[in-house]
Amino acid sequence: MPILCEPDAGTDELLGDLGSEVRTADDLSAAAKLLDSDPAETLVVIGPRAGTEEALGFASALRMVRPAVGVILVREQADVDLLNRALQAGVREVVQAGDHAALAAACRRSRDVSWRILAATTTERNGRTVDGKIITVFTAKGGVGKTMLAINLGVALAQRGANNVCVVDLDLASGDVAISLLLDPVRTVADAVSMTGHVDTTGAASLLTPYRPGLEMLLAPVTPGDAEKIPPSLVGELLAVLRNMFDYVVVDTPPHLSEHVLTALDASAHHVLLTTPDVPALKNLRVVLDVLDMLSYPAEVRSVVLNRAEPKLRLSQEDVERVIRTPVAVQIPASRAVPISVNKGTPITLASPGHAVSKAITAFAKQRLLPAPVPRGRRGRSKQRPA
């Protein structure tokens, strides 16, 4: 039963949005007492007549003692400065007064976030500390199926509820995870900018978009220019928090080595390097392998995946391995079913689990990623960066 904090004179309209089963409080002190009396409550809505500074202070204090409780702030006007301050204080969402549909949706999303936090807390209480493995999928050439592989690895790792998995779209300028799954990116990595330096479980959970049980998405920004606002340090913070929330975190990356990608590789237990059986892609992969060796990333946490393997191209697995001087872990066959599944917004491992592509991805996940290798990061923690 949610708690609504608003003077009596202003509760009627908000009560209509929240439903009949709502407890009301005239001020934040009364709201705090209601929370103290009900350890199971997970939602507080603060109406527009409550003072902004007092509301932000309330949310900031609450996140330290009751991180699973979500605070929704309703304001007559909400500018960018208020939104940033609200996120820093731990407010889940700020909603425009009078926007009934937005308030109802915000409450639903907040309940989902609270459920995930409580589920993680319950897991830890039952004696199992989550120590998730980060898996970064990278290729040096666009258009070879990187996002498809990252998403389907996420599905394969989460199958039958065996693991909680998060797919992170780190292609900040042009990520395709949302469009590949027909998701509406209400919150993205860009919403974490105001949390830089103090990302916690509550903040990270508020950024996630649920896809199916056991599988969540952290989506790339959709507004032009937002990618430039995201520092590599924030990527490191987010991944550190997410690995304590999920069993596996699969990171989809842009097709070039950047500080953001190197941060993900540093944090990863496994590097999945994707290529296709054509000379330009193989040449680019060979260069990437040389760079990773130069930066002292351990070769044992590396797997090369050959996508769109096609005998008619006259490049066998042996030919590929001779060019890149590295073994190929798995071949994923070429198939029209893959672009069809992408166009439908359903990963092929879900749409056709018996398909040869699905079997190859699932087998790779089981053989190389379950459980993930222990080594993480670079052997000397070298600060070198590729030119």
- How many domains is the chain partitioned into structurally? 2
pLDDT tens per residue across span 227-257 = 999 999 899 999 989 988 999 999 999 999 9
Q: Do residues 149 and 279 both lie within one domain?
A: yes
Say what the alpha-carbon torsion angle 353, 357, 362, 367 is, to the nearest 10 degrees: 150
pLDDT at 378: 54
Q: Which residues of 106-137 are buried (b: 16+ CB within 10 A; e: fewer)?
A: bbebbebbbebbeebeeeeeeeeeeebbbbbb
From 124, 152, 178, give the residue that closes a domain: 124
Taking the C-alpha atoms of residue 301 and residue 241, their distance in angstroms, rounded to an integer, is: 22
Q: Residue 386: inside a domain, yes or no?
A: no
Taking the C-alpha atoms of residue 126 and residue 121, their distance in angstroms, rounded to an integer, is: 9
Q: Do residues 364 and 285 both lie within one domain?
A: yes
CATH of the domain at 77: 3.40.50.2300
Q: Residue 292: inside a domain, yes or no?
A: yes
Q: Residue 387: inside a domain, yes or no?
A: no
pLDDT tens per residue across span 99-120 = 888 998 888 888 878 876 776 5
For residue 106, give the amino acid letter: A
pLDDT at 373: 44
Closest CA relative to residue 113, chosen from 209, 191, 255, 188: 209
Q: Do residues 82 and 184 both lie within one domain?
A: no
Q: Do residues 334 and 189 both lie within one domain?
A: yes
Q: Do residues 192 and 300 both lie within one domain?
A: yes
C-alpha dist (Å) from residue 113 to 94, 158, 202: 15, 19, 8
pLDDT at 111: 83
Specify burial of residue 27 (Cβ count, 10 A radius: 0-12, 13-18, 19+): middle
Cβ atoms of 339 and 143 within 8 Å: the answer is no
Tokens 């509301």 — which residue?
Answer: 55
Cβ atoms of 138 and 265 within 8 Å: the answer is yes
Predicted confidence (pLDDT) at residue 380 exceeds the cutoff of 60: no
Cβ atoms of 273 and 149 within 8 Å: the answer is no
Q: Do residues 56 and 147 both lie within one domain?
A: no
Q: Do residues 116 and 182 both lie within one domain?
A: no
Cβ atoms of 324 and 140 within 8 Å: the answer is no
Q: Do residues 284 and 359 both lie within one domain?
A: yes
CATH of the domain at 337: 3.40.50.300
SS3 call for 370: coil
Q: Do residues 8 and 145 both lie within one domain?
A: no
List, in order, residues 6 or more apart from 316 with CB less than 8 Å away: none
Predicted confidence (pLDDT) at residue 310 exceeds the cutoff of 60: yes
Q: Do residues 352 and 240 both lie within one domain?
A: yes
Taking the C-alpha atoms of residue 334 and residue 312, their distance in angstroms, rounded to an integer, is: 11
What is the percentage of the chain residues whose pLDDT exceeds 70?
87
From 83, 106, 124, give the residue that closes a domain: 124
- DSSP string covering 219-280: PPP-STTSGGG--HHHHHHHHHHHTTT-SEEEEE--SS--HHHHHHHHH-SEEEEEE-SSHH
The strand pair at 215-218 and 209-212 is best described as antiparallel
Record the pTM: 0.72
Query: Where in the sequence is the domain holding 349, given as residue range(s)?
Result: 133-369
